[in-house]
């Protein structure tokens, strides 16, 4: 099945539906890799057609290490998406990316393990060695930054996303290691999603919503989950305006 979809959005923690969609269709996509996290929602934003998929399911029932990333990305590609924006809740490590900051990272380090990370992991599949030097598509990143400026949404340009296994949050010592490795943000869902998109030839970028300071970075002795969800609720209200501007670019 192919149809013209201008943008696919993968919603992370706190973004389980995309408000303001018209002419909604829900598609339960069968994939060679099992079921996606949920049905893919197709709809209109003005004149623009988008797809939306809740990474953890619309009821947030799937933890980061159990997300079927291969099925999710394949389903969006199958429905006709060619540009994919992953929205990810993250913790802030660098001083200028604290809670309620939006960032558009340009690099990633993968610390995850035991995930199905490639479409080559199937018997008989072609072995493809993708170039992953720049893990996010430059053109889509540029358009996203321009859209943020046009929409009046403040975002930080660049930064390295450290992808950890989850679902637990990291120790202070682990964050010290990530900082030493050059990570500015830490999250649990950035990989293998970005690499899978590259394998399918999709343009892919990340919009990171900083929900909290990473362990040991903000002076707090304990990370507050209610505060995390309050921060995400505040930030997700800006996402539709940013997406509308992105679709107009």
Q: Which residues on adjacent β-strands are paired with residue 109?
A: 162
Q: Is 231 annotated as a binding residue?
A: no
Q: Could you tell me the two tokens for 31?
A: 């994939």
- Report the distance separating Cα 37 and Cα 72, nearest Å: 7
188 is in an annotated binding site: yes
Residue 163, annotated as binding a ligand: no
Q: Is 214 annotated as a binding residue?
A: yes
Which of 22, 21, 26 has its CA nearest to residue 36?
26
89 is in an annotated binding site: no
Question: Positive or negative CA dihedral for 63, 137, 90, 129?
Answer: positive
For residues 64 and 51, is the Cβ–Cβ distance under 8 A? no
Q: Is 56 annotated in some ligand binding site?
A: yes
Residue 212 is assigned to a ligand binding site? yes
**Beta strand 155-157 with 102-104: parallel, antiparallel or unpaired?**
parallel
Is 74 annotated to bind a ligand? Reply is no
Identify the CA nearest to 135 among candidates 51, 208, 191, 178. Answer: 191
CA dihedral 235, 238, 239, 245 (to 10 degrees): -150
Please report, in range form, the residues annotated as the binding site.
13, 55-56, 188-189, 212-214
Please report, in range form, the residues annotated as the binding site for substrate.
188, 212-214
Please report, in range form, the residues annotated as the binding site for phosphate.
13, 55-56, 189
């Amino acid at each position: 099945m192919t149809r013209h979809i201008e943008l696919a959005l993968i919603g992370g923690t706190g973004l389980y539906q995309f408000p303001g969609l018209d002419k909604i269709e829900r598609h339960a996509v069968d994939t060679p890799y099992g079921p996606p996290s949920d049905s893919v929602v197709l709809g209109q934003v003005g004149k623009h057609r988008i797809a939306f998929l809740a990474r953890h399911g619309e009821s947030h029932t799937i933890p980061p290490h159990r997300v079927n990333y291969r099925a999710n990305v394949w389903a969006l590609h199958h429905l006709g998406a060619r540009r994919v924006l992953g929205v990810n809740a993250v913790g802030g490590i660098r001083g200028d990316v604290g809670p309620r900051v939006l960032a558009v990272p340009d690099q990633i380090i993968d610390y995850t393990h035991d995930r199905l990370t490639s479409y080559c992991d199937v018997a008989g599949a072609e072995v493809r060695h993708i170039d992953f030097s720049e893990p996010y598509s430059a053109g889509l990143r540029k358009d996203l930054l321009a859209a943020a400026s046009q929409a009046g949404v403040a975002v930080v340009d660049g930064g390295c996303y450290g992808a950890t296994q989850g679902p637990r949050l990291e120790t202070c010592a682990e964050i010290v290691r990530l900082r030493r490795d050059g990570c500015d943000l830490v999250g649990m869902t950035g990989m293998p999603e970005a690499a899978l998109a590259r394998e399918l030839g999709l343009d892919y970028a990340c919009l990171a919503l900083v929900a909290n300071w990473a362990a040991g970075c903000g002076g707090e002795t304990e990370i507050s989950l209610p505060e995390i969800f309050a921060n995400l609720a505040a930030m997700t209200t800006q996402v539709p305006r940013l997406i509308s501007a992105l679709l107009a670019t």
